[in-house]
Structure 1
Amino acid sequence: MTDTAAALRDLDAALAAVVDAQLRDGDVGGLGARDLLSVMDAAASIVRRAEALLIEAVGEVDARSDQRDLSVRMTTEVGCRSVKELVQRTTRFSSRRAGEFVTAGRGIRRTTALATGERLPAVFPALREAVIDGAVGVDGVVAVAGPLASLPVGRDAIIAADEELAAAARGDGADGMPPLAADDLRAQSLVWAAYLDQDGPEPRDERAMRKRGLTLGVCRDGLVPVRGALLPETAGQLQRIFDSVNNPKLEGPAGPRFTEHNGDADPDARCDTRTRPQKQHDALATALTVAAASGQLPTIGGAAPTLVVSAREADVANGVGTAHVQGIDEPVSIAVARQIACTGGVQRVRLGANGRIIAITVNDWVFTHVQRRAIVLRDGECVIPGCHVPAAWCEIHHVIEAARGGPTHTDNGVLLCWFHHRTIDTGGWKVRMKNGVPEILGPVWWDPGQRWRPATKSPVRRRDLVEAAHPG
């Protein structure tokens, strides 16, 4: 073990003793406000200094892995495909955090000239000094390196930005502001980037094409963050999809209602309580479902891009437990599995005690195109009052679940949009079939009389009702 590693092990042991004493026998909740903030400040300082060493080490690993000859790359020596994977295995960091250390290492590590052996300055030398002094951590380095590292400008311009941003990170900036947090540092870096590269060497459209992107983050608390930048025409098309699916007009037993209301109106009178971002999420979910079912997308392994949700059969039957979506690590509720099963086929896989696959059976619960056209003729659109998602964008819901013996028959299928299908068991709306016609029971706040009402959204059905009410 090197002297550096040994010294760090000693520090780790000392820190472990402090942590153990405080968290096992101490009481952080009993600290006063000033002491609590002091603990946070001291712990953060230790983290930043540890990150400084880790950034430098990752930068060295990155340099030793950047070799033309694969056999001499450090990543190859230790059996990893990339520097990021090596960092993940060594540190147990997430992929995203490992990538941040790689980015930071490239920004502040000093390199060596191959011809002369001379030590060259880092891309951001002032920021490097701030990292060594413990003023900036890995997130601060990434906040600067992200916007500035690839700018097509001269070295002097980068150095000027580096010096000012490092001073701001220390709290020594010309504006007299206290030390900047990473988000504020990124905001200033973006200002510098715009100032240094006002026009850029590429036309605007070409730059937009180069910078476009969309990424899915790591699932946390049942949600996957989405980040990226859309081209204007892509954003415009997506907005049109949002507008076509989301309709603010709502209907109740006493006539039309609207989601917008003034301060004097009773908010419980609203039929749809979703926020605009929630509605846009649901519209995107609807569009993705329609696109996947269109048959126009490329296949994966010879099959359409099908959403695969797995769960234990007993959990689905009992409505408890969890399910798993292919490609997403975090488990989802059984309600998700039941919704997917309602609109698709179910493949039962029977496993032996040793995990061997013993039997495979497939139940195809998908309504045929002929059945769907008939249900569309009858229902018109999503059968929930006030929802005007068109039939082409709706799913067909088994009123009696197929898993519980409900038939895939027009007398047991109704049109529901993605949102109302997803929440049919929890949203307060109930659907039943009576003589082959869907009937709706709304929540108490929507219909205090609690009457089952036939769904009459089909233009043909509405015309029949008008003529029945006004014969001749």
Structure 2
Amino acid sequence: MKPLLEHLDDLASLVDSARAGSEVSTLPDAELVEALTAVGRLQRRVEALLIDAVDEVAARSATPFVGDRLTSRFGCHDVNELVQRTTLVAPQTASRVTRAARAVCGERALVSGEALEPLFPAVRAALDAGAVGVDGVLAATTEILTAGRRVGRDERLFADQALADVALGCGPDAAPPVCADLLRVQAHAWATAIDQDGAEPKEALQAHKRGVTLGTPGLHGVPVRGMLLPEVAAQFQQICDALLSPRAGVRFDTPEHDDDQGASDSDAPTSGPADTRTRAQKQHDALATALGVAAASRQLPTVGGAAPTLVVSVREEDLSRDSGHAYVDALGVPVSLGAARHVACRGVTQRISLDDAGRIRRLGTEERVFNKHQRRAIALRDGGCLIPGCSVPAAWCEIHHVDEHARGGATHTDNGVLLCWFHHRFLDTHGWSIRMDQGVPLVKAPRWYDPGRGWRAVTRSPTRLRSRVLRT
């Protein structure tokens, strides 16, 4: 019988020959897809062998005497470390292979060392047939294993067979084999159906593990890690979906004054500008919006007798020169002057004069930025975020001083426009320009979006849009 290592050397040589003998980039579409399918089959079979090898390493490292363990003899702390060193994978990948081995490789008999029936024999058969790999094994078994003793042996084996049939493409509906993600959906349905105690034990575990931690501020920002309860995550997802929905298109009103030699309304774009943010960046901005709305709601407990308030401090001379840093008091880290202007524009400002020694010479009163009556009027005029294509509604928007408040801009409806958190925070860097013309906001788009770069009146207000229709 040919030794296993020789077979593996032959397989590696065959793969190298296949790569050297055919350029993937030259394959026709149909052949490329067939090649990708064949590579997937080969990968799953190799992963089956990897699972067997890791299971054997685990069995030889399960002795009570540390010095007798295989891992110890090769200078490794545990199985995970040995898998990392030998296969050059990340710790998470090594852990996934080890968990897959526990699910589809039987434990060893204490006396004979013989392998017993695995927890999921049908999924094991699907692994041997090349229908699933590590991802598929974990997708089919993880949720049921999490239920533990709440799932009886007969129920587990019944679900095991049903999931294996789905993976092999021989289920009752004769559907073709499914990918790991769809297999996970099926496994979740089985786990909830056969778990006798329902969701309560899992909910208790989730409640115990919940938490959010802010890391140490670094070069790229403040890291966030933690675990959300499902209903909290769902609520956050709903907020993200509401704020990030691309349901609103561009709305240009007819400008009464246009002193640019730019385009007329007939040149206006007819679809929203491209949003280059990643999904993660959009969800960050949605969280920032939700936090701002919550802080302004006056429904939160007070801190030191006042509502939770983000305090950003900056020297007046730095702000006037547009050079230097501002500081967020809660974290004590420097932020840009743009961040300081953004916070001041949407909240209140208070001027404090210090002498050279640091003594407080004058303590100014808080200057409220726009009051609720002004906000209602501006919301009626603008209808939502002023940037064309943005769908954030008026209630979630902030009010931006077109002429900066820090430079003497008036807190008046003729100087305020609605902007969402993202467009307000990064207005200076994204190429959009805003000006007021007799109390009507006009927007100039970036050149990549509107080559004519004309000033255009923009609105999402139903009342103004109806008036526009009636005028035509």
TM-score, scaled to structure 1: 0.58
* Matched residue, 2:334: 331
Shift of 1:323: 1.2
The CA deviation at 1:383 is 0.8
TM-fit CA distance, 1:396: 0.4
Displacement of 1:298 in angstroms is 0.9
Which ranges of 4 or more aligned residues in structure 1 deviate by more than 6 Å? 129-134, 188-197
What are the residue-to-residue correspondences of 1:222-371 with 2, within 5 Å? 222-249=220-247, 250-251=249-250, 254-257=268-271, 270-371=273-374
Matched, 1:199 2:108: no
Q: How many residues align?
A: 303
Q: Map 1:406-421 to 2 at 5 A.
A: 406-421=409-424
Q: Distance in 2 between matches of 1:393 and 1:373?
A: 12
Residue 185 of structure 1, CA deviation: 5.7
Q: CA deviation at 1:400?
A: 0.4
Matched-pair contact (CA < 8 Å) for 2:269–2:450: no
Instruction: Give the RMSD, CA atoms, in angstroms.
Output: 3.1
1:362 is paired with a residue whose SS is: coil
Write the deviation string for residues 402-446 of structure 1: whole angstroms up to 9, x where unpaired. Answer: 111111000001000001101111111111110111111111111
Distance in 2 of aligned mates of 1:452 and 1:214: 45
Q: Which amino acid in structure 1 is aligned with residue 384 of structure 2? A: E
With over 3 angstroms needed to count, the CA separation of the structure-2 counterparts of 1:134 and 1:378, relative to structure 1, is farther
Shift of 1:133: 10
Map 1:441-456; keep pairs closer than 5 Å: 441-456=444-459
CA pair 135-312 structure 1, distance change in 2 beyond 3 A: farther
**CA contact under 8 A between 2:80 and 2:91: conserved in structure 1?**
no
Pick from 203, 216, 219: which aligns with 2:217?
219
Partner of 2:86: 177
Does residue 379 of structure 1 match 2:288? Answer: no
AA at the equivalent of 1:420: H
Aligned-pair CA distance for 1:370: 0.7
Q: Which runs of 5+ in 1 are unaligned?
A: 1-123, 137-164, 259-269
Q: Does the aligned pair in 2 maintain the 1:365–1:402 contact within 8 Å?
A: no
Q: Report the residue type matching 1:364 in the other structure.
A: E
1:200–1:207: structure 2 CA closer, same or farther, 3 Å change rule? farther
The higher-RCO structure (CA 8 Å, 6+ apart) is 2
Contact 1:396/1:414 (CA < 8 Å) preserved in 2? yes
CA 190–398 in structure 1, closer or farther in 2 if over 3 Å, else same: farther
Q: Relative to 1, partners in 2 of residues 1:361 and 1:182: Cα closer, same or farther, differing over 3 Å? A: same
Structure 2 residue identity aligned to 1:242: C
Alignment of 1:420-435 (within 5 A): 420-435=423-438
- Return the offset for 1:465: 1.2
| Letter in structure 2 aligned against 1:241 | I
Alignment-derived partner of residue 392 in structure 1: 395
- Distance in 2 between the 1:355 and 1:186 partners? 57
Question: Displacement, 1:204?
Answer: 1.0
- Rounded Cα–Cα distance in structure 1 between residues aligned with 2:407 and 2:89: 59
Equivalent residues in 2 for 1:72-221, closer than 5 Å: 166-170=78-82, 177-178=86-87, 182-184=91-93, 198-199=147-148, 203-221=201-219
Note the alpha carbon deviations across 1:369-424, whole angstroms, 9 max, x for none: 11111111111111111112100000000100111111100000100000110111
**Cα contact 1:170–1:180 (8 A) shared by 2:** no
Give how far 1:271 is off. 2.9
Structure 1 residue 135 displacement after superposition:
5.7
Verify the 8 A CA contact 1:169 1:181 in the aligned structure 2: no
Q: 1:383 to 1:199 in 2, by over 3 A?
A: same
The aligned amino acid for 2:386 is V
CA–CA distance in 1 between the matches of 2:322 and 2:240? Answer: 32
Letter in 1 for 2:271: R
CA drift of 1:285 comes to 0.7
Contact 2:349 2:366 in 1 (8 A): yes
Q: 1:182, 1:354 → 2: CA distance?
A: 55
Deviations 1:144-179 (A, max 9, x none): xxxxxxxxxxxxxxxxxxxxx6144246x9xx9357
For 2:217 and 2:366, the matched residues in 1 are separated by 30
Hey, what's the Cα distance between the residues in 2 that align with 1:341 and 1:125?
Answer: 65
- How high is the sequence identity, in percent, across the aligned residues? 50
Q: Distance in 2 between matches of 1:348 and 1:408?
A: 16
Counterparts of 1:409 and 1:432 in 2: how far apart (Å)? 14
1:343: how far off? Answer: 1.4
Query: Structure 1 residues 371, 349: closer, same or farther in 2, change over 3 A?
Result: same
Distance 1:233 1:197, change over 3 A: closer
Contact preservation (8 Å) 1:217, 1:225? yes
TM-score by length of 2: 0.58
In structure 2, relative to structure 1, the CA distance for the partners of 1:190 and 1:340 (3 Å cut) is farther
Q: What amino acid does structure 2 have at the position aligned with 1:177? A: T
2:440 to 437, 440, 443: 437
- Are the equivalent residues in 2 in contact too, given 1:343–1:365 (CA < 8 A)? no
Amino acid in structure 2 at the alignment position of 1:395: E
Take 1:224 and 1:319, find their aligned partners in 2: how far apart are those partners? 25
Letter in 1 for 2:387: I
User: Cα distance 1:254–1:403, how it changes in 2: closer, same or farther (>3 A)?
Assistant: closer
SS class of match (1:221): coil
AA aligned to 1:312 is R
In structure 2, relative to structure 1, the CA distance for the partners of 1:430 and 1:170 (3 Å cut) is same
Unaligned runs of 5+ in 2: 1-63, 104-141, 151-199, 252-266
Q: Distance in 1 between matches of 2:376 and 2:73?
A: 70
What's the CA shift for 1:184?
4.7
